[in-house]
Amino acid sequence: MTSQDHLPPTRAEKRQAKRIKRFDNPWMNPKLIWGAALLLGIIAMGIIGRFVWDPDLVFTGSSMLRLPPVGFENLRGQAGSMANPLGTDGGGRDVLALIIIGAPNTLFVGLLASLIGMSIGIFLGFSAGFLGGRTDDIIRVSADVMITIPPLLILVVFQSAFGDVSLTMMALLIAGFVWQSPTRLIRAQVLSMKQSGYVQMAQLSGASTSHIMFREMMPNLVPYLFGSFIASVTTSIVTAVGLEVLGLGPQRIPTLGRTIYEAINAGALIQNLWWWWGIPTLLLAIIFIGLLLINLGLDEVSNPRLRRLS
């Protein structure tokens, strides 16, 4: 394809070449990379933050109340200082320390809940698709039933009855509501794959069920599994934040949602204490944007028709 008079390639041609090269490996998708980078950034902030910043500043009364971030002034005329670079909340907690501890907590709940939910989903989806019959009926109907029940409402009942929960407990509770979509998705995929040539070929050549499941089917399911996983992380975090904003969820562990809850209750919006609710909101937004970018990237990985549009 080289031009005969050896002209140096124009910029557009170079870009085109780069695009083609990039698309050779669908996983090198810019959206995917950006999304993953945002989430890794949050995790890195949580890990590095604990070493370079004093995590004890998350305790109530560890600093002065309602100090503004550096470069701003609060209603009492106090200027922000480097002692609390992002300001403090109404209980004297350092906002920087709050997000260093709180943001990874929020991610942790989302990841743990969906990890459990996905495992249940993979197990049930494969069982339903493979075994068929009665098992399939029961799994299909229960997934159909559970998918219409909004998790938030059931969890509200649960947590208002039981009071305080731990982070892990909350993740476990949420996991009970994020297995349905993966189950349905995997069941549908397994059913259609069972009819495909390569699976029937494997069956005819005497491959074991586990070989067919994990060596033949699983690799084709990977983009779907990832997509489904990210979607349930989003659902889990939305549910967790929803509970926290209603004043439920863990009461003594700092989370982004709980910080927002306390800020709203203290009237931070009218008192112009924007850093108190605004910084946790911003971090949550970054988490959600990161998850969406990963999901869009995965869509393009599994559906090449979408790629030319970006």
Measure the CA–CA gap between 235 and 178, rounded to whole angstroms.
Answer: 8
Give the residue, chosen from 28, 150, 196, 222, that forms a contact with other proteins under the rule CB under 8 A: 150
Could you tell me which stretch among 99-107, 153-161, 193-201, 207-215 binds other proteins (CB under 8 A)?
Answer: 153-161
CB 250 within 8 A of CB 166: yes
Q: Which is nearer to other proteins, 96 or 284 (by Cβ)? A: 284
The site that binds other proteins (CB under 8 A) totals a number of residues, namely 51
* CA 138, 140, 141, 143 torsion-angle sign: positive
Q: Which is nearer to other proteins, 13 or 144 (by Cβ)? A: 144
- Tell whether residue 194 is a contact of other proteins (CB under 8 A): no
CB atoms within 10 A of CB 214: 12
Angle between helical axes of 95-131 and 30-52 (0-180°, round to 10): 130
- Tell whether residue 278 is a contact of other proteins (CB under 8 A): yes
Measure the CA–CA gap between 114 and 178, rounded to whole angstroms.
Answer: 7
- Tell whether residue 36 is a contact of other proteins (CB under 8 A): no
Residues numbered 156 to 185 that lie near other proteins (CB under 8 A) are: 156-158, 160-163
CB 126 within 8 A of CB 186: yes
- Tell whether residue 114 is a contact of other proteins (CB under 8 A): no
- CB 224 → other proteins: shortest distance, Å? 14
The angle subtended at Cα 259 by Cα 254 and Cα 261, nearest 5°, is: 130
Closest-CA residue to 261 (of 240, 277, 245, 276): 245
Measure the CA–CA gap between 30 and 190, rounded to whole angstroms.
Answer: 30
- Tell whether residue 222 is a contact of other proteins (CB under 8 A): no
- Tell whether residue 151 is a contact of other proteins (CB under 8 A): yes
Q: Which is nearer to other proteins, 156 or 202 (by Cβ)? A: 156
Q: Which is nearer to other proteins, 212 or 244 (by Cβ)? A: 244
Residues that bind other proteins (CB under 8 A): 140-141, 144-154, 156-158, 160-163, 234-235, 238-239, 241-242, 245-248, 260, 264, 269-270, 272, 274, 277-278, 281, 284-285, 288-289, 291-293, 303, 305-306, 309-310
